[in-house]
Every structure is written in C-alpha cells, then in structure tokens.
Amino acid sequence: MAEFVFSNAAREMEVYGYDSVVKSHCRMCHGGCGVLIYTKNGKVAKIAGDPGCPINHGTLCSKGIASHQLAYHPDRLTYPVRRVGPKASGQWEHISWDEALDTIAERILDYKEKFGAESIVMGYGTGRENEAVIYRFANLLGTPNVLTAGHFCYGPRIATSIITCGSNPIVDYENHPKCIMVWGNNLVISNPDCSKGEPFSVSVNKGAKIIAVDPRLTRIAARADVWLQLRPGTDTALALGMLNVIVNEKLYDQEFVNKHVYGWDPFVERVNDYPPDKVEEITWVPRNKIREAARLFASTKPAAIQLGVAIEQQVNCADNNRALMALMGITGNIDVPGGQVLFSTPKIRNVGQFGAHRMLPHEQSLKRVGGDRFRLAGNFAIINPKCVWDAILKEEPYPVKMLFFISSNPVMTRANAKEVYRALEKVEFMAVSDFFLTATAELADIVLPAATWLEMDYIGDFWKRHGYILPRRKVIQVGECRSDHEMLNDLAHRVGQGEYWWDTFEGGLDYILEPMGITWQEFKKLDHIRGEVRYRKYEERGFSTPTKKFELYSTLLENWGYDPLPKFREAPESPVSTPELYKKYPYILITGARSPGFFHTENRQVPWLRELHRDPLVEIHPETAKKECINEGDWVEIESPRGKVRQRAKIFAGIDPRVISAQHAWWFPEKKDPGHGWDESNVNILTDNAYNTCDPAMGATSVRTLLCKIHPEAR
C-alpha cells in the first residue's frame, strides 16, 4: 500500500509541479485523519486523504481539504497583540512573544501570591490535542480549575465508561458489526472522536443493519432499518424501555451476565419500571418500534452502538451513557470482534500521566470551584462553567482574577451566553491563544497567535481510545505563530516550573514516547503505531472497576451519594416538566446538529467552507411553518425565556411539527465591528446554565433541549 500511495503522489508531483509531499495527521476537527500534504514554493498547495492510513483509508472531509485556507487566511492573527483601550474596543498593538509571555507570567505569579493559584483558571476548547499540556501547566501551578467542554462533551463518556467497565468501549468497524445502533450521532458528517464516517459506511455496505435514534431524519436515519424518532431529551427512557424488552424476553447474554455483571437483580427491578407502553408515552416512539429495535439489536451478533455528544448535553447526561453501555454489556457485545472493544493504547505516557494530575497538591484539589456539587465530574478534574462565571461575577466561593483560554470561544459555545460575556468583561485579566480575534479574544488583554496542525510536530490521537498513534509533522511556518505546546513549555519556565519541562517541546514528545523506547525523531519516520489488539480481556483479569465486573449498579456512584442505577429525568424545560411555560413557548427546540465544514465556532471565515453554509439555519416542519406564517429562507426570530436570536428558516419535513432544530455557534467574522455579531444568531443566548438544570453527577449543561417560540422577524 505504501508503495502505491507514494507512486501516485510522485505522479501528482510531476504533473502539477509540486515540490514535495508529506504524510501527516489532520486536526481540523475531532477526526484525526491521515493526510498527504503537497507543497509548492514552500507553501501548502493541496491536501488529500492518505490511502495508507488505517483510520480514514484515504477519505477526507471538507475541513481537512480546506486547511490551507485557514492557515493562510488574511485575517489570521500571526503575531502577539495587546489590547489598548477598553474591552471589545477592537484596538490592538503588536508586541513581541517575550513581552507577551513575560506579562502573562507576571500576572500569574502576582495573582497566585495574592489570591492563591485557584484564582487563575486555565481553559481550552475542543479538538486541538492540547489538554495534556494544559493540565500539566495547571497542576504544577497549583490551580485545580481547568475549564473544558468535558462536562458535556466526551468527558462524560470517559467518566461513565471508567466506572462501568474500566475504559471507553469503541465500535470495532474493522471487524464489521452486523447491527449498528446510531444514537444521537451523525458520524458521516461529524467524523467524531474515535470513529469516522468511512468505516461505518463500509460496514453498512457490507450489510450491517441500522437502528437510528434521532429526532431528525438524518442521512443515516433515512437508510435505517428502524428509525426511532424520539421526543428530544428522552433518550434514557427509550434505552431503559429497550432494556426492558431484552430482559423480559430473555434476549440477553446469560453467560456474560452470570459471570461478569454486577448488580443484575436491582438492575432488572429498575428496567421493569419502564415497560414499552409507558416508554411510548414518554418518548413518542411507538411501543412496537421499541420492541422491534430491541429484538434486532439483541439478536444480531456482533452489534455495536455509535453514540454521539447529543446525549451528553442533557440533564440525563451520565445516565444516557450508562444505559447505552448496559445495552452493549448485557447483549454480550463488549470487547468482542465487531462489537464494542476496550482497545489498548501503545505503551506511552497517557494524557493523565503527562498531565501531572498526581502533582496537584491535595489541599488545592479541594478548592476546585463547584466543590462536591458534581462528584463524577470532579473525580476527573472537570468543572461546570457556571462555577467559574460565579467566581468572577459573585466571587463565590472565592474570586477568580485571571482567565487563560486556549483554542476556546466560550462566548459562543457555553450556555447562557450573556452571563458568559458579562463574566469575561469583568475578569481582571484574560489571555487568549487562537487563530483569529474571536468574540472571546476581543475581550482579552493579550492574544497569542496559535499554530494550526500544519505548523507543528505532535503525536496525533495519543489521547484517544482506538489504540493508534500517528505522527503529525510540521510542514510550514506562518508568521510568528506557535503551537500551544511550545507556548506553554516556554511560559512554564517563566513561572518556576522549568525543572518539569524541556528546552524545547520536542523533549515533551520524547517523554510521551519514552516507555516504548523510541524518540520523536524515530517515531516521525513511521506511519503509525497501534497498541496490542486482544479481545475478551475481561475473561482473564475482569474489568477495571471496584468489583472487577461490568457494573450495571455503580458502586462508585453509590459511594458518592448518587443513584447507582440509570433512571430517566424530564428535561428542565419540556411540555411535561413546565406545562405553563409550554403554553407560552409551544415548541421543543433542539440545538447543535452538525454541519459539514464547521467545527463548533470555527471556519466561518474559510471561503470553501463558508460557501457550504452562508447563513445560520433553523429547521421547521411544513405544518409549523404554515401555522407561524413562515416561508422558506425567511429570517425568523427564535425566542426562549432567556432571549431571542435570528436565523433563516429551512422547511424540513424530517422533523416532528412540535420540534424545531437550530444551528449552534454562529458568529459573523465578516462583520468587522467588535464582537462580530456574537449575539445575533448565537443559540446559546437562548440556553440556560442554572445548576438545577444540569446533570446532577456530571454537571452537563442542558443545551440540547429547551422550549421556544418562533415567528417571522419584525421588519
């Protein structure tokens, strides 16, 4: 394969006059796909998928193809700047890297001395593979406060899988499941985390049955053998209803349950609270379809569940994950070929080890904002964002004086965006590292120019659970941009952490790889390394849980004071939980459906990608559109008790008339005024972040399901 790949590459170089081709690893989203980067006159000229990569097999999404347009964008920040004038004034001055880092270091040391390290909050966004280095910096500094998307994105999957079966179970597409249940996920568009649309599509083409669980008629749902169009926010009830069928019809794997499951009797008692007729009333899914899906999943071997972040951004976040893992486990699909595998990573220092979590003093960990409010999240060093905003706005439980956001735009991505904006306006000092002057960056005091994946050496995917690591090779240098890893390595020396860091960050890469006995220079000559692949490992050593079994009944959750079994909770706003509010806001609003080309707030200034989506869209059923006097393409106002935003109407029959679906993370980089229209179409103006609306164990903010009204925009 390698010879074929490079013979084709050589042919392209000759035909098009390219100077070189470099194998690397994309990071424009969660994807992590292998790529071939063609250069001409020292610049990237073309990016293509690498047919020799075991993750994407030569396929590549629009984001990866357009990466060079991001790297060379004329509006990109290519040198450090310091704000002059008031916040959000749009006035900046060019400063050197030394001045920028010296200033940030001075502030860090000053706040640490006067208010304690906990007064400094580090933060990062999704997808830049910088979490290990950020946690290392924070833990060595002594601050327990690292603000991530981990409370409602991927973090819950890791946290709940560790307490259930010891590791995150990944779909084994290499061995082609015979049935795939796609739950709240549209992986052919999103290419999430450890899975890609391409291997899923190959398995489907080989005959895999599909069960799609989604309020919207996605491409996957349109092709599904069974589509369960549930009421948004009722996933746990639906999963428990399917489990009820599997248990009572004895469709479960009795040998696995007898030998390897903990808590079977109380689990059976719990699922018996959710018979299909009751679940139909809760979910809107007909009871016969619930039975059909349960029977198909349980009787087809091997089977797997492809779950998505939509189930994690709810009040039922942790229990959604736990209920789906129960479906995987009791049907005997855990750690079997073509099922849900607990893959082993190569023998490297993992994110937790590199992140120096054990070096955070215990007395400092007790100061984490939020305290014991969300115990499951706190066990994994994850905090709820509102705890940070309260520490700034109310100084509760103590004042937060400094924020340092790296590849994060919380004004657009966190619930109750107006409160987020107020907090960022008030905080005494804020630094940001990013590609552009975003709405968040414009509230900062210093902004650093971050490097794209094309401008760095790194070990791609070393945090994931699919078992592969791949070299990401630096190809270009744009302006003065630096990777987050290099920047924090430099900053660490300035705040007294030098003995735990390296002269350059290549030393950090060597440190990660050291247990395998290789260096970065040796690794970068390889295509990839994969951990040992073995199945049914639990038969030899059990599961990595307190009981050494697959815990349907979680002993850790019980110790922390939570219900040890999954159960359904109504969404904080719904026709059932808030009937009076429903009279005023008569539609269920779901948010966050993924769009090809965008990665949360990113890429709206990249020409090829913005051409795919000129405006923010809200999907409404034809009956709803007629009732509200809305036509295709109209600008409409969507309103919740927190505020209102505008988006363009898209008439879409693949949604229930009682449900509306709005896109998230919309801002307008082309608007040159400060803020770039951050509050115009930002769906998080509508969402809530009150503590009592969050998942009680994980602290996940309920941003996917709320109530709204919709009408044509007033002219």
85 compared with 3, residue with greater pLDDT: 85
Residues 476, 486: Cα–Cα separation, whole Å: 15
Are residues 129 and 179 both part of a single domain? no
Residue 277's domain comprises 169-341
Percent of the chain clearing pLDDT 90 (strictly above): 91
Q: 485 in a domain, yes or no?
A: yes
**Which tokens belong to 410?**
């919380």
Cis preceding-peptide flag for 397 (omega within 30 of 0): yes
Question: Is the pLDDT assigned to residue 2 strictly greater than 70?
Answer: no
Are residues 354 and 477 both part of a single domain? yes
DSSP 265: H
Which residues, including other chains, have CB under 8 Å from residue 501's CB and lie 6 or more apart? 489, 492, 493, 507, 508
The Cα diameter of the chain in Å comes to 70
The last residue of a domain, from among 497, 530, 563: 530
**Under 8 Å between Cβ of 295 and 250:** no
Cis preceding-peptide flag for 385 (omega within 30 of 0): no
Three-state secondary structure along 51-91?
A: CCCCCCCCCCCHHHHCHHHHHCCCCCCCCCEEECCCCCCCC
Give the dihedral sign, CA 180/186/188/190.
Answer: negative
* Residue of 621, 712, 150, 106 whose CA lies nearest to 385: 150
Q: Could you report the per-residue pLDDT of 182-237, keeping only the tens digit for each?
A: 999 998 887 777 788 899 999 999 999 999 999 999 999 999 999 999 999 999 99
Please state, rounded to an integer, the average pLDDT across all residues of the chain: 95
Q: 281 in a domain, yes or no?
A: yes
The pTM of the full predicted model, rounded to 2 decimals, is: 0.96
Q: What is the mean pLDDT of residues 676-690?
A: 97
For residues 452, 456, 461, 467, the Cα torsion angle rounded to the nearest 10 degrees is: 150
DSSP states of 107-166: HHHHHHHHH-GGGEEEEE-SSSS-HHHHHHHHHHHT---EE-STTTSSHHHHHHHHHHHS
What's the one-letter identity of residue 274? Answer: Y
Question: Is the pLDDT assigned to residue 78 strictly greater than 80?
Answer: yes
Q: Could you report the per-residue pLDDT of 134-168, keeping only the tens digit for each?
A: 999 999 999 999 999 999 999 999 999 999 999 99
**CB 4: neighbour CB atoms within 10 A?**
10
Are residues 501 and 608 both part of a single domain? no
Residues 422, 389: Cα–Cα separation, whole Å: 8
Q: What is the mean pLDDT of residues 366-395?
A: 96
| C-alpha separations of 546 from 256, 324, 559 in Å | 18, 20, 11
Q: 300 in a domain, yes or no?
A: yes
Q: 315 in a domain, yes or no?
A: yes
Residue with tokens 């002269």: 503
Q: What is the mean pLDDT of residues 596-612?
A: 94
Residues 18, 414: Cα–Cα separation, whole Å: 43
Q: 609 in a domain, yes or no?
A: yes
Are residues 369 and 500 both part of a single domain? yes
Are residues 137 and 176 both part of a single domain? no
Are residues 309 and 376 both part of a single domain? no
What's the one-letter identity of residue 676? Answer: H
Q: Estimate to the nearest angstrom the gap between the alpha carbon of 128 and the chain centroid.
A: 11
Are residues 589 and 708 both part of a single domain? yes
Q: What is the mean pLDDT of residues 371-381?
A: 94
Q: Is 679 left (phi over 0), alpha (psi -120 to 50) or beta?
A: alpha
Three-state secondary structure along 481-513?
A: CECHHHHHHHHHHHCCCHHHCCCCCHHHHHHHH
State the pLDDT at residue 1. Answer: 47
Residues 671, 669: Cα–Cα separation, whole Å: 5
Residues 217, 229: Cα–Cα separation, whole Å: 8
- CATH number of 662's domain: 2.40.40.20
Q: Could you report the per-residue pLDDT of 329-338, keeping only the tens digit for each?
A: 999 999 999 9
Q: What angle do CA 467, 468, 469 make, to 5 degrees?
A: 130
Q: 227 in a domain, yes or no?
A: yes
**Which tokens belong to 76?**
């990109």
* Residue of 400, 393, 420 whose CA lies nearest to 409: 420
Strand-pairing partners, residue 644, are 639
The last residue of a domain, from among 500, 530, 560: 530
Q: Could you report the per-residue pLDDT of 39-64, keeping only the tens digit for each?
A: 999 999 999 999 999 999 999 999 99
State the pLDDT at residue 7. Answer: 63
Are residues 624 and 669 both part of a single domain? yes
Q: 96 in a domain, yes or no?
A: yes
What's the one-letter identity of residue 687? Answer: T
DSSP 448: E
- CATH number of 112's domain: 3.40.50.740
Are residues 493 and 591 both part of a single domain? no
The last residue of a domain, from among 306, 341, 376: 341
Least confident of 3-7, 458-462, 545-549: 3-7
| C-alpha separations of 39 from 43, 78, 504 in Å | 5, 20, 26
Are residues 495 and 388 both part of a single domain? yes
Q: 583 in a domain, yes or no?
A: yes
pLDDT band per the 50, 70, 90 thresholds, residue 90: confident
Distance between first and last Cα of the chain = 60
Number of domains in the chain: 3
Least confident of 169-173, 226-230, 547-551, 711-715: 711-715
Residues 370, 284: Cα–Cα separation, whole Å: 36
Question: Is the pLDDT assigned to residue 11 strictly greater than 80?
Answer: no
Residues 152, 309: Cα–Cα separation, whole Å: 8
DSSP 441: G
Q: Which H or E run includes 459? A: strand 458-460
Are residues 368 and 298 both part of a single domain? no
Are residues 202 and 133 both part of a single domain? no
Which residues, including other chains, have CB under 8 Å from residue 255's CB and lie 6 or more apart? 332
Q: What is the mean pLDDT of residues 359-376?
A: 96
* Residue of 148, 164, 267 whose CA lies nearest to 554: 164
Question: Is the pLDDT assigned to residue 578 strictly greater than 80?
Answer: yes
* Residue of 254, 253, 267 whose CA lies nearest to 332: 253
